[in-house]
Amino acid sequence: MDIMCNEREFSGIVLGIVDSNGDSCDIPPSCQGKVVKAPYVDHHEGVNLMKKSRFMLLPQVYDASPRVAMEAMSLNIPLLMNSNIVGGWKYINPQTGEFFTGVDDFRNSLSKLMSWMDTYSPMAYVNQHYGKEKAGRKLRVFVEEHFEDRVRLPKSNLLIPSEPARPPGKLDDKGITTNQPRVFIVFSTSCSPFQDWQAQALIYNHQQQQISGELVRLMSCNDPDYNLPKWSYHKYRVVRVPSFDKEDDNWR
């Protein structure tokens, strides 16, 4: 941070958490007033903050392919990533950003990133390699191989969640079509700010892509006072269940 604040006069925001207490890295004196730490923010606010950024710094090592890397590239924001990261290094190439290996070469990597800023096109890279056309074909092949006998697939060679649904039949008193089974997408989490962030990203995508079915968060939690972030989405619900983690003091 000293290099960015002292030598470059950059300002920025530290987004996200790094430990179970919700604490993130310390801000050095040279960055006071220039860099701020964001409290927990929902997915919408996180995306809005990213849109205001010239690049995204990913200094972490123990992260298996951070989702924010793909989100930033989808917003056409280049990356400056630690090459020692466990996963996600595959995203860095001449179109998307630069690597640094540590403090010794950070200055040079940052200079290269800023000098070539106008040459990066991360959004085009995402659309070419991970866009809905390519992902839609891969998803269809996967579903055909494993679930063809249990689902009715559209006639197109793509399978995209936002693809128009078949014309609905008669609706019952709950607004569910009577000629189609109810679909539930269930995902399991614990109760922590990090898991809340992951859940909100999933909720946002489910809502934006207009995916059919209801989204259910199965939350293992022994804390009766744990408060979830508010989310107004009629297809989303939370089911609390006991946590049986042996590291939990309340485990029985």
Q: Are 91 and 69 in contact (CB under 8 A)?
A: yes
CATH class as words, domain 2-128: alpha beta
Tell me the pLDDT band of 10, cut-offs 50, 70 and 90: very high
Distance CA 66, CA 60 (A): 9
Query: How far is CA 120 from its chain centroid?
Result: 22
Q: Over 60: is that where the pLDDT of 225 sits?
A: yes
Q: Are 67 and 39 in contact (CB under 8 A)?
A: no
pLDDT in tens, 185-221: 889 998 988 888 888 888 888 888 778 788 899 999 9
Give the up-direction half-sphere exposure of residue 167: CA atoms within 13 A in the CB hemisphere: 0
What is the reported pLDDT for 173? 52
Q: Over 60: is that where the pLDDT of 180 sits?
A: no
Whole-number mean pLDDT of the chain?
Answer: 82
User: Which ranges of the chain would DSSP assign to H, the alpha helix?
Assistant: 2, 43-51, 67-74, 103-115, 122-130, 132-147, 193-208
Tell me what the mean pLDDT of segment 19-42 comes to: 77
Query: Which part of the chain has CATH 3.40.50.2000?
Result: 2-128
Determine which helix (DSSP H) or strand (DSSP E) holds 240, and give its type and residue range.
Answer: strand 236-241
Distance CA 60, CA 39 (A): 19
Question: What's the chain's Rg over C-alpha atoms?
Answer: 22
What b-and-e string marks burial along 44-83, b requiring 16 or more CB atoms within 10 Å of the CB? eebbeebeeeebbbbebeebeebebbbbbbbeebbbbbbe
pLDDT in tens, 91-108: 999 999 999 999 899 999
In the chain, DSSP finds a helix count (H) and a strand count (E) of 7, 8
Q: What is the pTM of this model?
A: 0.62
What is the reported pLDDT for 34? 92
What is the reported pLDDT for 241? 86
Distance CA 39, CA 250 (A): 28
Tell me the pLDDT band of 77, cut-offs 50, 70 and 90: very high
